Chain A
Amino acid sequence: MHPPVPPRGRRGPAAIAAACAALLAATAASLMLGSVHVGFSDLLAVLGPGGGASSGGDSVSAAARIVTLVRLPRTVTAIGVGSALGLAGLVMQTVFRNALAGPGVLGVTAGAGLGVAAVLLAGVGASIPGLTAVAAMVGAGLVLVLALTVNRIVGQPVFLLVLGLLFGYAASSITTLLMAAAPGEGLERYVVWSFGSFALPPGAAPWVILAAAGATTAALTVAAPRVDALLLGPQYAESIGIHARRLHGTLILLAGTLTGLVTAFTGPIVFLGVAVPHIARGVVRSSRHRILVPMTALTGASLALVADIAARLPGSDRVLPLNSVMALVGVPVVLAVILQAQPEATEELGL
């Protein structure tokens, strides 16, 4: 039935090394490109010892100001969000054993959106800094608690998927209702939030996102064999000693928290989370999490940076909605990976 075609070889360590190199290049590009071009030597001068950090007051050069105050936080955010959403997507795809699962699958993103809509459209979001982020996290957290409760009671992942879908619809509907009833300024702010953006002000948030993504990468890489067991389904996982429902719950909590965190700060950038694991799988040609987790984190970070650079329209003062650019960058990449990977990946994709 199946011709004994030798499967193509793995590309583990080499792929990781290449992904690291790509991420470094994208990081440099992200710091250099924009409305004002910063040369590579200037960049090294700013980031090097005695650069941006030590300069105080009026002596700060324009380049240093742009890099340290605008592009560095933005780049750190992109790297953190890209890896976090990629990992969240990977975890959801593993837990639900469904290739189309992603970070938004539980309705966490919709919950965050509802939280943001509630404060912005009520007209209070503008006056208190950081309130939208808090509201988004509360919204995402409520959805997550609901999902985990259902997981505890029912223990059937499929049920959660349906619930997430329904909750997503409900939250979007309420958001639309709020938008219809809202004053103009709040509406505009909500729409801008929903475009998605990595342009965070300098501060703790970009580094918190990056740290969360890094810690998750480490934890999942260590726990990889137990997570692999879930690929066989809950019954087989139980039979090799895994507490499947508890591991599902832990992973859902992890993915949901990451999604809620990044959505709160950067808006609903969900496409990334569905696409990145497929790209990573296609590149390393493996479903094993020990290699797939770091690859997903690196790929997500690079893809987020590339999309963000494109959205900035280097050399111009205009900025495109990140969400749209992300999809336009990502869709051809995913298509190419799926088409190229054909024989071995098809079972999971259901093609």
Chain B
Amino acid sequence: MRILARGLELAYRGGPTVVVADRLELPDGELVSLVGPNGGGKTTLLRSLAGLLPPRAGTVTIGDRPVYGRRGLSRRDRARLLSVVLTDSVAPAYLRVRELVAMGRLPYQRLVGRESSDDRRAVDRALAQTGTAHLAGRPAGRLSDGERQRVMIARALAQEPEMLLLDEPAAHLDPPHQTALFQLLDTLVRDGIVSTAVIATHHLHLALHFSPRLVLVAGGSVHPGAAADLLESGALEEAFLRDLPPATAAESRLDPRRGWFVPSG
């Protein structure tokens, strides 16, 4: 299911508008990376696409259904289509990995919330798809950073969503784990386990490698485009360097092959 945002104006309660997006379309079957400098609005945009931040103006639709508004999806229906991995730390005392993952089944349960055999199968599948089945009995607070992110992805997959949205999931991981995380997401999309994955990330080199299409979010505006175009036009480089002191910016450039900022000259 494609997701489409139109005329979007995003703001926090009572505050100024922080992100504007005229038209943003996220097609099926892709791992889409949201990239851009700190404070540019990636998290805000991601939260709004995930159904967690009603826009001040504009619409977000998934398939042909609006996410917000009076005719929008109910919370439960939304939770069956969209699931998230956030930066919030989560480790309630005594909670086991399997229990944490099983919380993703809530949108499928009635008020009393007994786990059905469907629920158990979905949880097993999510654990298997993320390679975390061996962690099922571990306390959720006793995981390495890499394990925890996989478990949080398993929790999101237990919701059996169409679209997975992740905010900086690779932030605390070492380089091989960063790559492994992108590979996992890439596999989930390729295998059709989710139709789209959207990842807000600072790992430009991985974004360039795994995402044919990027969404550049900088200074509160949104520029979707093919990765190659954004690189070639210099838009990507300029967006990141704009916030730096001019003297520093003058001495940095984006190495298009490596996706790293390196000293110029």
When chains A and B are docked, how far (Å) is the Cα of A1 from the Cα of B174?
14
A235 near B88 with CB under 8 A, answer yes
Chain A residue with the shortest CB-CB distance to B76: A241
CB contacts (< 8 Å) of A224 on chain B: these are 113
Question: What's the least CB distance linking B84 to chain A, in Å?
Answer: 5
Residue B52 CB within 8 A of the other chain: yes
- Known contacts being A222-B111, A223-B111, A225-B113, is A236 close to B79, with CB within 8 Å? no
Q: How far is the CA of A66 from the CA of B129 in the complex (A)?
A: 66
Q: Is the CB of A226 within 8 A of B113?
A: yes
Q: Which of B63-115 contact A (CB under 8 A)?
A: 74-76, 78-79, 82-84, 86, 88, 90-96, 99-100, 103-104, 106-107, 109, 111-113
Tell which of A2, A238, A343 touches B143, judged by Cβ atoms closer than 8 Å: A2
Asked if A49 is at the interface of the complex by the 8 Å CB criterion, the answer is no
Inter-chain contact A240/B52, CB cutoff 8 Å: no
Query: Is B78's CB under 8 angstroms from A241's CB?
Result: yes
Tell whether, in the assembled complex, residue A348 and residue B91 are in contact, meaning their CB atoms are under 8 Å apart: yes
Of B84, B95, B104, B159, which contacts A287 at CB under 8 A? B95
For residue B142, CB closer than 8 A to chain A, the reply is yes
**Chain B residue at minimum C-beta to C-beta distance from A239:** B84
Contact B94 A287 (CB under 8 A): yes
- Given A285-B94, A344-B93, are A239 and B52 also a contact pair (CB < 8 Å)? yes
Most chain B CB atoms below 10 A, which of A223, A241, A343:
A241
- Which range holds the interface residue count of chain A? 35 or more
Instruction: Tell me, rounded to whole Å, the shortest Cβ–Cβ distance linking B81 to chain A.
Output: 11
A288 touches B99 (CB 8 A): yes
A317 in the interface, Cβ–Cβ < 8 Å?
Answer: no
B75 touches A231 (CB 8 A): no
**Which residue of chain B is the closest to A238 with respect to CB atoms?**
B52
How many Å lie between the Cα of A288 and that of B137 in the bound state? Answer: 15
**CB-defined contacts of A232 to chain B, threshold 8 Å:** 88, 90, 92, 100, 103
B230-265 residues with Cβ-Cβ distance < 8 A to A are none
Residues of A within 8 A of B75 (CB): 238, 241-243
Across the two chains, which residue of chain B brings its CB closest to A290? Answer: B113
Beta-carbon contact of B52 and A225 below 8 Å: no
Distance in angstroms between the alpha carbons of A285 and B92 in the assembled complex: 11
Residues of chain A within 8 A (CB-CB) of B141 are 344, 346-347
Taking CB atoms, residues of chain A closer than 8 Å to B78 are: 241
A236 pairs with B86, CB closer than 8 A = yes
Would A233 and B88 count as touching, CB distance under 8 A?
yes
Q: Does B144 contact A (CB under 8 A)?
A: yes
Report yes or no: A239 in contact with B50, Cβ–Cβ below 8 A.
yes
> Which B residue's beta carbon lies closest to that of A97?
B92
B78 CB to closest chain A CB (Å) equals 7
| Closest chain A residue to B100, Cβ basis | A232
CB distance from A165 to the nearest CB of B (A): 23
Q: Is A23 an interface residue (CB 8 A)?
A: no
Within 8 A of A (CB), among B23-66: 47, 50-52
A304: B residues at CB distance < 8 A: none
Distance in Å: Cβ of A10 to nearest Cβ of chain B: 9
User: B144: which A residues are within 8 A, CB to CB?
Assistant: 1-2
Known: A2-B144, A241-B78. A225 touches B109 (CB 8 A): yes
Q: List 19 A-B contacts (CB under 8 A).
A: A4-B138, A6-B137, A222-B111, A226-B106, A235-B52, A236-B86, A238-B75, A239-B50, A240-B103, A240-B104, A240-B107, A241-B78, A241-B79, A242-B106, A286-B94, A287-B93, A344-B93, A346-B141, A348-B91
Chain B interface residues toward A at CB < 8 A: 13, 47, 50-52, 74-76, 78-79, 82-84, 86, 88, 90-96, 99-100, 103-104, 106-107, 109, 111-113, 137-139, 141-144, 159
The chain A residues found within 8 Å of chain B, CB to CB, are 1-2, 4, 6-7, 97, 155, 222-226, 228-229, 231-233, 235-236, 238-243, 281, 285-288, 343-349
